[in-house]
Structure 1
Amino acid sequence: MSIPILRYALATQNQRVNGFETNPGEEQPKIYTTDNLPTAFEMDEIIWACYRQIFSEHQILSSTKDSSLESQLRFNQIKVKDFIKSLVLSDSFRYLNYDVNNNYRIVEMCVQRILGRDVYNEREKLAFSVVLGSKGFEVFIKLLINSDEYAENFGDTIVPYQRRRIIAQRSKGEMPFNLKTPRLTADFSRKQNTAQLLSSTAVRRFRPQEQVPKAGDPALFLSMVNEFSPLIT
């Protein structure tokens, strides 16, 4: 019998609260969708937005692009949702992200990239980590993409985006999910700056030849002198 996902409480994040912005600005996400029969140039932008959302701008390389998938999307053989799922399940994403992070970090990253929000709390991170560890990466990704939350916010035709970016985030020094470095976290940075013992073997000291005592040097007789105790009268 399969293990059901752990229950966790939702949290009031900014994407769950209606906004009061009157004039759209840079804090408002740009929606990329195939609903309005995009031109060739607009389709290029949609494909770029998909890569940027999933791989971040740090990882958009020739090796992460898939011309076959792009062609299927251009000719409406697959939907944006299918394109996103294929990118996340690609060998490139596994190599650049899944293989170099622990399960908790992968859960946090995939929720941000696919659902466009932060994890609600540690309980949600733990719940998805159990799914990832017990059922595998592919089942975990399909659980996110086939969720009601994904369908309600992005459907089949909208590129996932960071929902409700607000100015308050800028004051904390935060940035959009797709601009965050996917591998170098704060914990890893602290480890990089900490000296670590790499070997448990004894340390051998090297003494330059010019420092080796020569014949007749008093240092050669020091051990002999230490063996004698002073005469007590």
Structure 2
Amino acid sequence: MSIPLLEYTPSSQNSRVRGYEVPSDEQPRVFSTDNLLSSGDYDNLIESAYRQIFFHAFASDREKFLESQLRNGQITVRDFIRGLCLSNTFTNSFYNLNSNYKFAEHCVQKILGRDVYNEAEKIAWSIVIATKGRAGFVNDLLNSDEYLENFGDNIVPFQRRRVLPSGASEVPFNIKNPRYDAYYRRKLGFPKASWQAAVRGYKPQEKQPKAGDPALFAGMAKSLGNIGNQPQSISPYNIDYQNLVPRR
């Protein structure tokens, strides 16, 4: 018996606010099968789906069978996204190298196009993963009202409302959210910090020492070392007390 999805409180994210901004280069491009006119349009749509789910797909990562079914109209874009989320590439790159909490966060970002609201939502979806499995979790996301209202059957998911009212843009999910969990990043040995041998600094021209400044001779004085007389080593065992005391 599966546990129903726990309730969580949605927060007022940027994706929940209706936008009235002027379209620009920061606006996400919508790829849909409703306005495809040529095979090149299908190529762009498929590439956008790979970028959304995989971030990048090599030749060995591509699902040729799913691509053929999509081009022939046998499956919808939603079915194509489902196939990519259940593929071996997504399994090996995300599911096998993350906890259920991190995997739920990845899928919410990639499928629903927004950040998770809070830790309660990650816990709720992780319970779905534990009870229904990975396929049941992906199906629940794709069958949710939020997905159907924003993307439907024919639109490739995208990061919703990236442009903020101030003109700035949110960081893309693939940049701010690492693919691997912290445990597996340490296990795989990255990231590794690289340190420079010397620390370089910049000193303004007006603060640089002038001719005759003692700071210019500090290095030379340090290089000379100790050139004075060495201190004498005096011990009570090498002192002739009888000859040193005057006669009376």
Q: TM-score, normalised by structure 1?
A: 0.74
Alpha carbons 2:5, 2:124 under 8 Å: kept = yes
Q: Residue 96 of structure 2: SS of its match in structure 1?
A: helix
Corresponding residue to 1:177 among 173, 188, 194: 173
Match status 1:13 vs 2:13? yes
Alpha carbons 1:116, 1:162 under 8 Å: kept = yes
Q: Which residue of 2 aligns with 1:46?
A: 45
Shift of 1:113: 0.3
Distance change (3 Å), C-alpha of 1:4 and 1:64: same
Query: Residue deviations 1:88-128, cap 9 Å, x none?
Result: 01111101110011111100000000000000111001000
Alpha carbons 1:50, 1:159 under 8 Å: kept = yes
After superposition, residues 102-181 of structure 1 pair within 5 angstroms as 102-167=99-164, 175-179=171-175
Q: Percent identity?
A: 51
Runs of 5+ unmatched residues, structure 2: 192-248
Runs of 5+ unmatched residues, structure 1: 195-233
Shift of 1:28: 1.0
Alpha carbons 1:169, 1:175 under 8 Å: kept = no
Larger Rg: 1 or 2?
A: 2
Q: Give, as a single letter, the amino acid of the residue that structure 2 aligns with 1:20.
A: Y
Alpha carbons 2:111, 2:157 under 8 Å: kept = yes
Q: Give, as a single letter, the amino acid of the residue that structure 2 aligns with 1:116.
A: G
Q: Which residue of 1 aligns with 2:204?
A: none
State the alpha-carbon separation in 1 of the partners of residues 120 and 55 from structure 2. Answer: 26
State the alpha-carbon separation in 2 of the partners of residues 91 and 187 from structure 1. Answer: 21
Shift of 1:27: 2.1
Shift of 1:183: 2.3
State the alpha-carbon separation in 2 of the partners of residues 144 and 108 from structure 1. Answer: 12
Distance change (3 Å), C-alpha of 1:25 and 1:3: same
Q: TM-score, normalised by structure 2?
A: 0.70
Distance change (3 Å), C-alpha of 1:105 and 1:163: same
Distance change (3 Å), C-alpha of 1:189 and 1:171: farther
State the aligned residue count. 191
Shift of 1:176: 1.4
State the alpha-carbon separation in 1 of the partners of residues 82 and 161 from structure 2. Answer: 23
State the alpha-carbon separation in 1 of the partners of residues 87 and 190 from structure 2. Answer: 33
Distance change (3 Å), C-alpha of 1:16 and 1:163: same
Alpha carbons 2:8, 2:121 under 8 Å: kept = yes
**Which has the higher relative contact order, 1 or 2, with Cα contacts under 8 A spaced 6 or more apart?**
1
Shift of 1:5: 1.2
Query: Residue deviations 1:41-94, cap 9 Å, x none?
Result: 11100000010100013xx11221011111111111111111000000111110
Alpha carbons 1:109, 1:182 under 8 Å: kept = no
